[in-house]
Amino acid sequence: MNEKLNRIETIHAILDSDSVKEGTPAYDADKDFQKKVTKDAIITLARYRQTTPDIHWTENQEKNAIIGFSGQIAFEELLKCLKIPYDTDEPTERIRKPFDFKLSTGTIEVKSYDYYCYKVLIKESEWKHNDFLVVWQYTDDTHNRIIFKGWLTKKEVESHGVTLKGKTKYNPHSDSYVIDFSELHPPKTAKFLT
């Protein structure tokens, strides 16, 4: 069998088969998933607080940080399962890298969203100009199931242009790329994972 087909089948094999048929491959979190995510988030938030003690983190900012780590961990687990070599920006390190993941096919920025979201929001100041954007989303408020929602290329992200701060209800605090989830490519077409 073709190597590319093997890897695509591997993606399907680790995901819930019904979710694959519906076009939204899902990673079912095991009991340690949220523990690891929360631990990474606590360490990272503590690091930020040490370097900038005057910053006040709201409960919502902490929640969003945990959601962000969830997508990164889910993507890393997918890469491990596919046996795809990668380099990563480990959130607990003090020296940050200009990407979330680096594969032989390019650099990846991972964004994660809560179950009720339907827009990708990337602050212009935080966009690293990676080769690909990968989006994960929780399926409900239990946060036990996260799906690989879709992906875009760097060119596709940047073709949306930056929406100025306050121009929409989605970006009241910063200039941002605002992209509807419906514009994401389906996960099964992610050729950078082959």
Sequence-distant (≥ 6) Cβ neighbours of residue 6 within 8 angstroms: none
178 exposure class (CB count in 10 Å sphere: 0-12, 13-18, 19+): middle
Residue 13 has what pLDDT? 34
Residue 44 has what pLDDT? 67
**In the chain, what are the helix, strand and coil shares in percent, each to the nearest 5?**
40, 25, 35
Residue 107 has what pLDDT? 95
Residue 21 has what pLDDT? 60
H-helix or E-strand containing 136? strand 132-138
Low-confidence stretches of the chain (pLDDT beneath 50):
1-15
